[in-house]
Amino acid sequence: MGCCDEHSRAELIRRGIAEAGRGLPSIEAGMPTPAGTGLSRRSFVAKSVGLALAVYGGSGLRPQLFDEGIAAATAAGENTKVLVSVFLDGGADSLSMLFPADDPDYLALRPRLALPASSGTPFAEDSRLYWHPSLQPFAQLHGEGKVSVMPGIGYDHPNQSHFTSRHFSEVGAADERLTTGWLGRYLDRVGSPDNPLQGLSLDWSLQPSLATAKMPIAAIDSPDRYDFWARGVWGDVHERMIATIGRLGTLPTHGDPGLRQATDATRQSSQLYRQLTPFRGKDEKKGFSSPVAYPESDDRFPNRLAGLAAMLAAGMPLRVVAMSAPGGYDTHDDQANDLAEGLKLTADSLLAFQRDLEARGLADRVLVHVWSEFGRRAKENGSNGTDHGAAGAGFLIGSRVKGQMIGEFPGVKQLDEDGNLRATADYRGLYSAILEDWLGADAEAIIPGARKFKRPAILR
Amino acid sequence: MAEIPRYSGPFGVPQAERLLWRAGFGPRRGEAAQLAKLGLDGAVLSLTRPAGEKWVGPPPRDEKGRRLAPGDAYGHDHLWWLDRMVRTSRPLVERMTLNWHDWFATSNSGVGSQQLMMAQNRLLRRFSLGSFRKLLIAITANPAMLLWLSGIDNRKDAPNENYGRELMELFTLGEGNGYTERDVREQARALTGWTSTWKRGKGRTDFRFDPKRHDPGMKVIFGKKGTFSWRDSVALTLRHPKHPPFFVEKLWSYFVPEPPSATTRAGLEALYRASFEVRPVLEAILRHPALYTGPRMVKPPVVYTAGLLRGLGRGVDTRSWVWLSENAGQRLFYPPNVAGWDDERWLDTNSFHGRWGIANTALEKFTLGDKNSKNVKVPNDPEAIVKGALALLGNPTIRPETRKELLAFARGSLAGATGWKAEAYPPLVANAVRQLLAVSPDLQTC
């Protein structure tokens, strides 16, 4: 798949949107198909918004349903903006990601874990801080104005349980009983009932921040591996079998929640199968290629990001994407090695992703949000590790970000009563700003009590 | 004592089927009918007070016919346990062992030793239906747990809160339920003292309590003062008034998807408080009307897998179950974190895809129309094909509407099959009907 073909296709969709209501941009017969898929492209008019759209493959697909799904997803210009949420699972140590190397209090709190100034890159916005050596790619992107750093993001009365604090971050409120994710509620407001790709968990399982009340969402390991092969079944019997999966997914569930969960998953899987038709590689071959090199790793993270860029380039109707970063961040023991390893693959992969988007001309459409459930205790423990803390570090990455700190480094002099960093920015204010400024949504309808939180400036 | 409701409706095959799925891994062929004959009480007692283990079916092998090495070979730990689930004659013992594995979720990703994980598994099985008090004491001093939640790093001069926090938050009380951050720190001090030795070629060994590493000083836990030890830490937590409600509700949630009524809860708490014994509480839950008349539950992936194999009468004979189970979201000995698996979210588009692979592999030995099955004639008859698929999977109860869809699929596929297709298509259709039945919402839930 050449980057330029994809680029022109993305261009075309953008131009189409720009011209909505002013007559239809036509899709020329000779437009290239994605290389290696052997699938023909079909085009049709999404009547609802007056757009011509191209769909690859999917012979069994009912145009009208797909039309509505795509049309809704591309209806308004700002709605083609995509948010990618990357979760550092376990509570990443902010005092290592950006460390105050020369602060005597830091050296006293971290006699064994303190990193020397010589190992990191100075952080241009705060002369006290240095980037962790594994975050060199972030330092580089920050130098280009493409990273906004949150050195002390958190909330009042912080909870030091992984599960509770993570839950608060995922639902966008300090509310234990809320069961929909903040991105899920966004999709419930703006999403479409026929487009599972609008909320995509690129992971083994669903990222709870995407959990919706109504709209379908999808979880896939990787876009090129979603197939329903069955031994001893081929030809039109196979096609009919796939169609029957969809029908089993529409049987009545008589108000039984367990049956409904199984039925929903069945139906959404068959919808997703159709949507991902162009990405199914033949004979173990990837269904996409990338214009830049991603890190080689056994971990799926770099490949998932590469697939994500390719899906965006193919005009797939994505809105919010959530995934977990590689590595384990609950570093109670042996922190130095574990942290360096996980951060390195995460940062190297995200740099490649940014360059990929730039090469494909998509960088203005994508915002990456890197977060963790909390930071770690300022004082190291006795096991060369750190215990659960409160405020931590987060990052916004992309060509459109403001590139300026959100909140400030709270310092290690004035810790809270549990010996943890104090928050200098509230995550609910950040979410509200992302919803309003990036996704063009009404934050007050999505984040409980949104009015109370100060919105940081996130875009340039 | 509050009266706990008992199920008094009919106890036939559908009820016995549900009981075998919730309290085990589903029926073998004909097993539901046998259990139904015992009546509700007899059926429940046969599960909670089973006779000695009698393995049913072929012993586990890898695809080359070799025996398993669960303590050493990669993935054999998973296969070894899956095999027990398939062949056991004491399904509730195995199922409760799995529930405790989820409750005290320890992952080999942090332990790094299949031997130690196997030892913990034996411990969970030994106490599976017994005393929660003894189980909690044993798990607190268990080597895999001491490694997983930093117990051996928790010492007098450098307390580590990891176990002390999860002991209360996840194992006994519930998050923030009757304890403070100060209690977390004080529990950590009480739990100090465990250590082990690193030996080349053996790894961590000789796990022991070393008084020199223990903090013998005064502590305040739940407002009580004392020079508490690790055993006191466990005892104080068990005696906490918030523990019985937490215990009862969590245990209940493994068997019934909706919370118990206030009366039921109170009755179960009273039963539990009397002795900290698990069995009487289990017996009350398994006889409760909510289990038989309430909504369905999504089967956990390993339960789904073991149940398919039991229904098919197939043993564990391929290592594929390791990665297939991982794809469906449940690799044994590797829960996602210390809170265990998220039982509310077993199914999404990715895990459905994973279960598709599980069903496809379970059915692979029975594929029709390939070179292994040359002589099997499949009739060009939709009714017979659907009936045959149900019989192969042990005649599970399914909804009429599901049966109708399968029949419509078979009819539609065979309708246009003329010429060479008239001969070639029936086996294809039969293979597809079995696969569709195995992944249907009916068989994903119980």
Quick: pLDDT tens for A105-130.
999 999 999 999 999 999 999 999 99
Backbone angles phi, psi at A239, to 5 degrees: -60, -40
> Residue A312, SS3?
helix
A241 to chain B, any CB pair closer than 8 A? The answer is yes
B326 to chain A, any CB pair closer than 8 A? The answer is yes
Out of B295, B350, B413, the one facing A257 most closely (by C-beta) is B295
Handedness of CA A385, A388, A392, A397 (dihedral sign): positive
pLDDT category at A197 given cuts 50, 70, 90 is: confident
Q: To the nearest whole angstrom, how far is the Cα of B261 from the nearest Cα of chain A?
A: 18
pLDDT category at A279 given cuts 50, 70, 90 is: confident
Residues of A with CB below 8 A from B338's CB? 162
Tokens of A49: 């918004």
Residue of A nearest to B360 (CA): A230
Residues of A with CB below 8 A from B412's CB? 240
Q: Which amino acid is at B388?
A: G
pLDDT category at B423 given cuts 50, 70, 90 is: confident
pLDDT category at A223 given cuts 50, 70, 90 is: confident
Quick: pLDDT tens for B78-94.
999 999 999 999 999 99
Average pLDDT, whole number, for chain A? Answer: 83
pLDDT category at A1 given cuts 50, 70, 90 is: very low
- Secondary element (H or E) of residue A370: strand A366-372
Out of B154, B159, B352, the one facing A269 most closely (by C-beta) is B352
> How many cross-chain Cβ pairs, A to B, lie less than 8 Å apart?
198
Q: Are strands A320-324 and A199-202 parallel, antiparallel or unpaired?
A: parallel
Distance from C-alpha of B443 to C-alpha of B310, rounded to nearest angstrom: 13
Residue of A nearest to B324 (CA): A204
Q: What is the pLDDT of residue A270?
A: 92
Quick: pLDDT tens for B254-299.
999 999 999 999 999 999 999 999 999 999 999 999 999 999 999 9
Q: What is the pLDDT of residue B201?
A: 79
Q: To the nearest whole angstrom, how far is the Cα of A162 from the nearest Cα of chain B?
A: 9
What residues of chain A, 259 to 298, have a C-beta less than 8 Å from chain B?
259, 261-266, 268-269, 272
Q: Give percent of chain A with pLDDT exceeding 70.
A: 82
Helix pair B400-415, B382-392: axis angle to 10 deg: 130
Q: What is the pLDDT of residue A285?
A: 58
Strand locations in B171-289 (E): 194-199, 203-209, 219-221, 224-226
pLDDT at residue A257 is higher than 70:
yes
Interface probe, candidates B192, B350, B366, chain A, greatest A C-beta count within 10 A: B350
Q: What is the pLDDT of residue A3?
A: 30
Residue of A nearest to B436 (CA): A245
| Contacts by residues A292-298 (CB-CB < 8 Å, ≥ 24 positions apart) | A292/A352, A292/A355, A292/A356, A292/A359, A293/A352, A294/A349, A294/A352, A294/A353, A294/A356, A295/A345, A295/A348, A295/A349, A295/A352, A297/A326, A297/A345, A297/A349
